[in-house]
Structure 1
Amino acid sequence: MELKEKKLPDPFGVIENAGDLSLVMQVAAFAFFLDTLLLAFKGKNLLSFSWGSVEWSAEVGEIMVAGLLYAILLSVLIPILDASITAILRWYPLRRFFITFDEREAKRRPTGCVTDNELLIKADAEQSTYLLEKYRESITRSANAMRLRSNMGTGALRILVMLSLNLYFSTEKNLSTIMSARAVFVPANFDFAFAIAVLALLVLCFRSWLSEPYQTIWVYYPQLFEELTARKKPRYLGSEQA
C-alpha cells in the first residue's frame, strides 16, 4: 500500500515559507544604511536630500568609500556580532535558561514518525531504494529549512544594526527618514507599529540564534514507527513466564 506523506506541524512554518522576504530585508537594511550616511555627512535624509543636484562624477570617491564601508559591515562586523551572540546563547551554563522549540520537539516522538537515523538503518537493512530516497529527501528538506531560518535571522540582524545606527545619528535638527515619517503619522500608532516590527525582527534573530545545529529530523513512516513502538513496550512478569 502506498504511503501518503504527512507534514509535521510547525508553528514557525510561516517564517520558513517566507523566503521572498529576504530580498525585502536586504533592501531595507541598505536603505537604513544610506539614510545614515546622508545624515552623518550631508545633514539630510533620503527624502530631503536633493538627488538631482548630485554630481556623480565628483562623488565617485565617496561612493566607493560608502560601498566599502557597507561591505565591511555586512561581511565582517555583523557576522562577527551574529556568531558572538550565538556562541553566548549556546554556552552551556546559559542553555539551562533557554528551552528551545527544537529541544522540546526532540523529546516527543510524533505519532507515526521515526528519526532520520532510524530510517537510514531500516533502508540499509532492507536495501530499499524507496526508503533511502525518503531519507535523502528528509535531510535535504531539513537542511533547506535551517538555511532559510539562518538567512532570515541574519537579515533581521542587519536591519536592527542599520536601524540602530540610523536612530543614533538622527537628531531634532536632522531627522532620519523613519523619524520624519513618525512626525507625519499619529506618534502613538507609529510607535506601536514600530515596536511590533522590532519585536518581529528579534523573534527572527532568536529563532536563528537558538536553533540547534544538530536537531532531530522526524520522518513520517508508520510501519517502522509501529515496529519501534512494539519493541519499547514494557514486558510484564506474567507474560514472560507464559
Structure 2
Amino acid sequence: MMVIRKLVAPMLFLLLRLVQTLLISTLVTAQAPAPSLEASPGVPSTSPPATFPPAESPIPVVETFPTNTTFALLADNGTHPIRQTAVALTSPAGIYALALVMDGFGKEGATRDFCWTEVYRIHNQQDVTFRVNCKPFRVEHCSLSLTLDGDLRLTLESAGGKLVSWRTSTENHDVTEAKLDDAGVLTLVKADGTVVWSSDDHNQGCPQPFRPPDIDESSGSLRFSACKYLVVLFSTLLGLTVPNCLW
C-alpha cells in the first residue's frame, strides 16, 4: 500500500501542475490584444458601368493664325444638315473663339448650307462679339483665310463660282497674324504688335439670335444666290461696296 501511494503521489502532482499551466496559458491568451489587421479599401456598393457615354469633345486650342493660313468647310450634301464649325483662333485664356461656321438648319435634302464667320464665347455661343456675312445664302464650300499679303477673307463657292463675300482690305499693310483677346476683340497686327485692323472698329452689329431666313432650295435659293454673285461681281468691277448685311 505504501508503494502505491509513493507512485501515485508524484503522478497527481505532475497532473495538477499540467492543469495549472494550461489554465494560466488560456488566461494569458484570452487577455492578449488581437493582432492588428491592415485596413482594406472600401468596396463600392455597386460596380461601375462597363462603358461610359462619350464626353463632349473640347474645343481645340488654336493659339496662332498667321498669314498664308486657310480654314475651310464643305457642305454635307444634306445627309446631316447640322452645324459644322472650324475654329481658326482661340483667345489666350480660352474664353472666345474665332470660327468659320456652316449650318443647314435642319433642311433635309439640301445640297448647300449657310456659311459665315463669327467670334463667340466658348461656353455660351449665343454671346457673339463679331459676325460677318450676316444674312448668307446656301453654298457648297466656304473658307476663311489670312492671305500671304495680310488680308482676312471669307470666300464662298457654289456651282463652280467663287465669291469673296467679306474681307478686311488689309493687304500690303505688313500684317503678320490675326489675334483674339479675352474680351472677344479680333485684330490683325504687324510683327511689332501694331494693330492694323480691329473688329471693334468694323462691327456690323448682326442681330441676335442668328438664323438666316427660310429659303426654299428648289424655288428661289439658286436664283437668289446667282443674283448676289452677279451683283457683287459687277459692284467689285465698278469699285462699289455692297454691305453684306443688306442681303
Question: TM-score per shorter chain, which class?
Answer: under 0.3
Q: TM-score, with normalisation over the residues of structure 2?
A: 0.18
Q: Which has the larger radius of gyration?
A: 2
| Structure with greater helix share of residues | 1
Q: TM-score, with normalisation over the residues of structure 1?
A: 0.18
Of structures 1 and 2, the one scoring higher in RCO (CA 8 A, sep 6+) is 1
